[in-house]
């Protein structure tokens, strides 16, 4: 009989050979999922023998990860600001840096009662659902151009009991109403050229619709800035996530579109990641 410790060791080695940047962490997450344990329990049951069914289940999870499928897709869920979101290949895996965009949104909404908010390109619903969870008085609307993504967001909203209004829409075109205090978006921002150099998790597994935005990665912002301006109340804000090196261009685009003085927040790696600006 092979022990859990040995399976963990072999899985880590296999994932390392197949190019995972975090092989031990991946192996722990996959085995914990396959065996129905928490990561802590892996250690308390280190010497436990695994039977054939358990081995086969774990092997299949590790095999998929060896093909560089994101761990989140393999286990079917991912954490975002304390929410457990179901995710699969229909949506981008929510990233930790997007949690900082939500921090900025909460700050922008701090003094506003019952704010009306719209999340453009909601994917699995990470931004919209965490805003609704952390500001239950907010009226949260979310949209996506992908019906597949909206289905994932709707299932997450229902499971978490969070009331978010969802619309199938190209940016804000099919979203009804105005008077938004905040328009927030983590849109596609990878340029076609950059895409070729990205890790296979992103370039081969995550939806292209969620990642690529034209030749310089700024195409979606250029369309969104004027659309958002038409829906914001005076003093409302647009808050955006952007890619490494894009913040200065985005700040310039905001100024050209008539927004007020923009602010920029770095992420934990020091990359300028969140750009926001008031409307008027």
d(C-alpha 58, C-alpha 48), whole Å = 14
60 scored as a contact of ligand SAM (CB under 6 A): no
User: In this chain, which of 58, 102, 127, 129 binds ligand SAM, going by CB under 6 A?
Assistant: 127
246 scored as a contact of ligand SAM (CB under 6 A): no
What's the chain's length in residues? 280
For residue 12, count CB atoms less than 10 angstroms from its CB and return exposed for 0-12, middle for 13-18, buried for 19 or more.
buried
26 scored as a contact of ligand SAM (CB under 6 A): no
User: In this chain, which of 26, 69, 144, 272 binds ligand SAM, going by CB under 6 A?
Assistant: 144
Residue 72 Cβ vs ligand SAM, minimum distance, rounded to whole Å: 11
- The set of residues, in sequence order, having a beta carbon less than 8 Å from that of 71 and lying 6+ positions away, is 26, 29, 30, 65
Q: Which 167-196 positions form the footprint of ligand SAM (CB under 6 A)?
A: 169-171, 186-188
Identity of the residue, 54 or 122, whose beta carbon is nearer to ligand SAM in the bound complex: 122
Identity of the residue, 11 or 130, whose beta carbon is nearer to ligand SAM in the bound complex: 130
Residue 80 Cβ vs ligand SAM, minimum distance, rounded to whole Å: 8
The torsion defined by the Cα of 91, 96, 101 and 104, in degrees rounded to 10, comes to: 150
Residue 133 Cβ vs ligand SAM, minimum distance, rounded to whole Å: 15
Identity of the residue, 28 or 206, whose beta carbon is nearer to ligand SAM in the bound complex: 206
Q: HEC string of 143-205? A: EECCHHHHHHHHHHHHHHCCCEEEEECCCCCCCCCCCEEEEEECCCCECHHHHCCCCHHHHHH
In the chain, the N- to C-terminal Cα span, in Å, equals 69
Could you give the string, one character per residue 71-110, with x where binding to ligand SAM holds by CB under 6 A and - elsewhere? --------------------xx-x---x------------
* Residues lying near ligand SAM in the complex (CB under 6 A): 91-92, 94, 98, 120-123, 126-127, 143-146, 149, 169-171, 186-188, 209-210, 220
């Amino acid at each position: 009989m092979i022990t859990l410790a040995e399976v963990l060791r072999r899985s880590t080695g296999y994932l390392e050979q197949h190019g995972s940047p975090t092989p031990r962490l991946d192996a722990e997450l996959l085995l914990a999922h396959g065996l129905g344990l928490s990561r802590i329990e892996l250690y308390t049951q280190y010497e436990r023998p695994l039977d054939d069914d358990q081995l086969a289940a774990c092997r299949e999870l590790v095999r998929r990860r060896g093909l560089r499928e994101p761990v989140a897709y393999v286990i079917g869920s991912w954490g975002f600001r304390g929410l457990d979101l179901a995710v699969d290949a229909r949506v981008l895996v929510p990233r930790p840096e997007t949690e900082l965009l939500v921090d900025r949104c909460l700050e922008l909404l701090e003094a506003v009662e019952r704010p009306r908010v719209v999340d453009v390109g909601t994917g699995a619903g990470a931004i919209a659902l965490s805003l609704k969870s952390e500001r239950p008085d907010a009226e949260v609307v979310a949209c996506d151009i992908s019906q597949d993504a909206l289905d994932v967001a709707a299932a997450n909203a229902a499971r978490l009991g969070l009331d978010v209004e969802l619309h199938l829409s190209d940016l804000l075109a099919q979203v009804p109403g105005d008077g938004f205090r905040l328009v927030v978006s983590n849109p596609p921002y990878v340029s076609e050229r950059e895409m070729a150099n990205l890790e296979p998790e992103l370039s081969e597994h995550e939806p292209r619709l969620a990642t690529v935005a034209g030749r310089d990665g700024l195409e979606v912002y250029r369309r969104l800035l004027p659309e958002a301006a038409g829906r914001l109340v005076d003093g409302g804000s647009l808050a955006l996530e952007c890619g490494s090196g894009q913040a200065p261009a985005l700040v310039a685009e905001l100024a050209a579109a008539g927004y007020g003085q923009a602010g920029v927040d770095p992420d934990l790696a020091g990359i300028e990641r969140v750009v926001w600006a008031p409307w008027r």
